[in-house]
Amino acid sequence: MDKLIITGNAKLSGDVEISCAKNAYLPILAGVILNKKNIHLKNLPELRDIRTMKKLLEMLGVKTNVSGDTTTFDSSGMNSFEATYDLVKTMRASIFVLGPLLARHKEAKVSLPGGCAIGTRPIDLHLTNLEKLGAEIKMEGGYVHAKTTGLVGANIVLAFPSVGATENLMMAATLASGQTVIDNAALEPEIGDLGNFLNAMGAKVSGLGTKTLTIDGVKELHEVEYEAIGDRIEAGTYLMAALATNSELVIKKANPGHLEFVIEKLKEMGGQIEVRGEEIFVRPSDLRGTKIDTAPFPGFPTDLQAQMMALLTQVNGNSLISENIFENRFMHVPELQRLGAQITLKANSAFVEGGFPLKAAPIMCTDLRASAALVIAALCAEGETHVQRVYHLDRGYEKLDQKLLRMGVQIKRVNED
């Protein structure tokens, strides 16, 4: 197991280039199953979750080949419809293969993902709505076993705009016969990206960027080359790291439009932030406290809540954060407190007293975004902070230590075994 040793009172400088979005590429990789022709994906980030999804595809019989920055997927010889517990248990997003497998093979057996550190995360919206498209679903021995005589388009209204359910249903509907309408669909940019990818290979998805998606089923798809959008959560993380350390930084390939709410909020707090095209310029800023409510897109993303909390420990005045998407997403709080942060938790809210200096201490990553918050706090703390269990971080931040090193941070990765 690796840990990061970060020297605090750090300043970031120069620029950082954002990688392609993990949360865009995970459903796109599941979408490979829909297409018997070759799919060429560019700049897949080197991340544990991406490797897990590739491994899952390979277990299903998909052939992969890497050449330069392009990975080619050939699913013409795919022979399995079963996603086993060993892989699914390590990554919830494995459930994305359910819709595509059902569409391609008329049968799918996918292990139930179970709970995860940040909450119970049920998949009822995926299952009940796949049933509306004509799937028969049984739970057997910890697996979702779905069969269909052929998926047929239907009108679906999501009870909650779940990102994953919207994606699973879009993919299933792509090869269904007739038209599917998904109402109250999630609006996250990764949905638009999946839609663009599906359309680039011949699907007929319209209404992208709105709450109502219409998918006219097609019989087959054609060869495609595609590159996913930049990772808005990675960009937001470096933006907050720069502000927390009073640094001057340019964030490149960031898709600032996907961070509009966050940038406006940070500006409202006094953040010196300027957007020029695809680049975000951050300058040292005198920030004050604020109120944050996580919400589905275009609201404040739950995936940036932990990083924002780390930043709020460094601003003038107090802040209140309410987490409205996941029920157990404050696991970074005890770790931030170990560094001296003054945070009080009550139900789904955290009261953060700003302006208390942080001091180095050994701390432990508990989940992906919590880990990013700990890195931001470690950058601010006085002394050398040892951040343990960075495998969580490696699920979603490509080359984080190398990128920070390039920005002038003293950081090293050591193996603890």
Q: Is 116 a catalytic residue?
A: yes
Exactly one of 3, 109, 126, 258 binds ligand UD1 (CB under 6 A); which one? 126
Quick check: 371 binds ligand UD1 (CB under 6 A)?
no
Task: Determine the Cα–Cα distance for residues 124 and 156; give it in Å rounded to an integer.
Answer: 14
Q: Which is nearer to ligand UD1, 163 or 201 (CB)?
A: 163
Measured between alpha carbons, how far is 131 from 143 in angstroms, rounded to an integer? 16
Binding status of residue 262 toward ligand UD1 by CB under 6 A: no
Which residues in the 71-110 window bind ligand UD1 by CB under 6 A? 93
Question: Residue 15: exposed, middle, or buried by beta-carbon count in 10 A (0-12, 13-18, 19+)?
Answer: middle
Angle at 362 between CA 13 and CA 303, to 5 degrees: 60
Q: Which of 19, 23, 285, 388 binds ligand UD1 (CB under 6 A)?
A: 23
Rg of the Cα trace of the chain?
21
The encoded tokens of residue 172 equal: 């299933």
Q: Which is nearer to ligand UD1, 180 or 302 (CB)?
A: 302
Per-residue string for binding with ligand UD1, 281-320, x by CB under 6 A?
---------------------xx-----------------
Asked if 10 is part of the footprint of ligand UD1 (rule: CB under 6 A), the reply reads no
Told to check if 115 binds ligand UD1 by CB under 6 A, we report: no
Contact call for residue 124 and ligand UD1 (CB under 6 A): yes
Binding range to ligand UD1, per CB under 6 A, among 124-132, 201-209, 221-229, 239-247: 124-132
Rounded to a whole number of angstroms, the minimum distance from the CB of residue 417 to ligand UD1 is 29
Minimum distance from residue 406 beta carbon to ligand UD1 (Å): 26
Measured from the CB atom, the residue of 63 and 121 that comes closer to ligand UD1 is: 121
Report CA-CA distances (Å) from 317 to 336, 351, 377. Answer: 17, 11, 17
Amino acid identity, position 211: K
Q: Which of 162, 180, 237, 247 binds ligand UD1 (CB under 6 A)?
A: 162
Site residues (CB under 6 A) for ligand UD1, limited to 185-214: 190
Q: Which two tokens stand for residue 245?
A: 């350390």
Work out whether 35 is an interface residue with ligand UD1 (CB under 6 A): no
Among 154, 165, 311, 365, binds ligand UD1 (CB under 6 A): 165
| Residue 20 lies near ligand UD1 (rule: CB under 6 A) | no
44 near ligand UD1, judged by CB under 6 A:
no
Of 18, 62, 123, 250, the one binding ligand UD1 (CB under 6 A) is 123
Cα angle 337-340-344, degrees, rounded to a multiple of 5: 45
335 neighbors 268 (Cβ within 8 angstroms): no
What is the smallest separation between the CB atom of 285 and ligand UD1, expressed in angstroms? Answer: 27
Q: Which of 20, 116, 365, 380 is catalytic?
A: 116
For ligand UD1, which is the closer residue by CB, 73 or 326? 326
Measured in whole angstroms, how far is the alpha carbon of residue 6 from the centre of its chain? 24
Our CB check for ligand UD1 shows the closer of 166 and 245 to be 166
Nearest of 363, 256, 264 to residue 306 by alpha carbon: 363
Minimum distance between the CB of residue 119 and ligand UD1, rounded to whole angstroms?
Answer: 6
Q: Stretches 3-11, 162-170, 244-252, 379-387: which one binds ligand UD1 (CB under 6 A)?
A: 162-170
Choose one: 7-15, 157-165, 202-210, 307-315; the region binding ligand UD1 (CB under 6 A).
157-165
According to the binding rule CB under 6 A, does residue 259 interact with ligand UD1? no
Indicate which single residue of 76, 114, 157, 160 sits in contact with ligand UD1 (rule: CB under 6 A): 160
Active-site residues: which are they? Answer: 116
Q: Which residues form the interface with ligand UD1 (CB under 6 A)?
A: 23, 26, 93, 119, 121-126, 160, 162-165, 190, 302-303, 325-326
